[in-house]
Structure 1
Amino acid sequence: MRAAAAEHGLTLDDERDLTPYLDLRRPRDRFIAALVGAGRPLPLRGEYWRMLRGGDALQWCLLNGLLNYRVLYFRPAAG
């Protein structure tokens, strides 16, 4: 993102990590994680099931520091 911004004459002014503000591992999320775990060996298909698995994977990645949500603030480069 920084390289693309620099190509357009912008420089990073500030960056904030919003990940700590996420409400992870709510009771609903724990239930879905258990459901996905139990359903893993079954031949379940369909958009709803894929959505549950994807949401659970996203939670896992966030909890394990593989992903984070950031806001980047850019300003025009001095020049």
Structure 2
Amino acid sequence: MSAAGKGEWARGVRLAAAGKALWESIGSTIEVPFWDALLERYIGAARERLGAEADAVWAEGYAMPFEDAVTLALGSG
């Protein structure tokens, strides 16, 4: 969400989607209300900014291999 908070809309959405995919891949059912609120605030705003492109960007992030997501998160991708 830091990326989205800094106006890096597509990067933020990709990372959020990659995180969600990882969360689901490990079978996590834990709910974290404060995290959900942050996602709604920052990623929701980023998706609005991206408009019609948002779903495609989310899908890219969701399908992203873990190593690629780490590279993107570290700012070198």
Q: Please classify the TM superposition score into its range, dividing by the shorter chain length.
A: 0.3 to 0.5
TM-score by length of 2: 0.35
Structure with more contact order per residue of length (Cα contacts < 8 Å, sep ≥ 6) = 1
TM-score by length of 1: 0.34
Larger helix percent? 2
Larger strand percent? 1
